Amino acid sequence: MDDWQDAAFSSRHMHNRVNRNGGRGGGKSKRTAFDVRKTFGSYECKCPAWHRINSESGSPDQHAVLELYRLTENGQGVIGELSLPGVLQAAVILAASRKSLQGILSELEPVNPQQEDEKPSESATTTDETGDLNQDGDSDEEESEQEPEPDRFETFEKNSFREPKFWLQWNGILSPTSGEPEKAESGLGYIIFPSNDCKKFKGTLNCASLEWKDVALSGHKIAPRSESDIPVAWGPDGVSV
């Protein structure tokens, strides 16, 4: 993950990308700008590590699915759910940088008072890096009234790269195995869409309890969707995302 993360996600490459009207500086290009809404949809997944466990449990005909619904409230991530039947049911968040992902998680997961005191400086750092986040809540509300959705999608686009690549954080329930009760857990992974149409992806998934370290995960879109408000709960407290 680190090979492409450092090179791709720390830059402002999108500011120099080909725009939606054709090319930059009079040139022409077949590449269209990345639209994060293309990621929304249902993906049938392949995960050999999951398939082995599922086959052993006697349910080989089930399908693994990744559902991607909408942007996070701050426009920095994509919300969805991952279903690996018989093994894992989880909420997922995709983000174009690890810093963006950590910022989203800080709003969803409990922090101690010391971390809370440090949040303003972390927020300021995030603002400096993205260059597109509003400086205060009042400004946020004013711009939201004038241009409610486009700003969020454009902000995400400017933090993307030539190939749409995402950090993935999951949080969910591991199915009971060997007489053990179901268990809440979270883990990291990443996803790469090889083209801006986001019809397929490849990536990896990690899970400490299953001893999964960068196990292969891939998928292809079986149904696109518009932005959806399907409820997704995060963590043991069921925080709505």
How high is the mean pLDDT in each 10-residue block of the chain (241 residues)? 44 37 50 85 97 80 93 94 95 94 90 47 37 39 49 54 83 79 91 94 96 97 97 92 90
78: its two tokens: 């994509």
Predicted TM-score (pTM) of the model is 0.69
CA dist 241 and 239 (Å) reads 6
178: its two tokens: 């060997």
Q: Is 205 helix (H, G, I), strand (E, B) or coil?
A: strand
213: its two tokens: 């370290």
Query: What is the per-residue pLDDT for 41?
Result: 98
Q: Which contiguous run of DSSP H or E holds residue 128? A: helix 113-130
CB 47 within 8 A of CB 217: yes
Query: What is the per-residue pLDDT for 181?
Result: 76
- Our CA angle for 211, 216, 221, nearest 5°, is 135
Query: What is the per-residue pLDDT for 176?
Result: 76
Query: What is the per-residue pLDDT for 237?
Result: 86
Query: What is the per-residue pLDDT for 21?
Result: 44
Cβ neighbours for 119, distance < 8 A, ≥ 6 positions apart = 106, 111
Query: What is the per-residue pLDDT for 157?
Result: 53
29: its two tokens: 């290009």
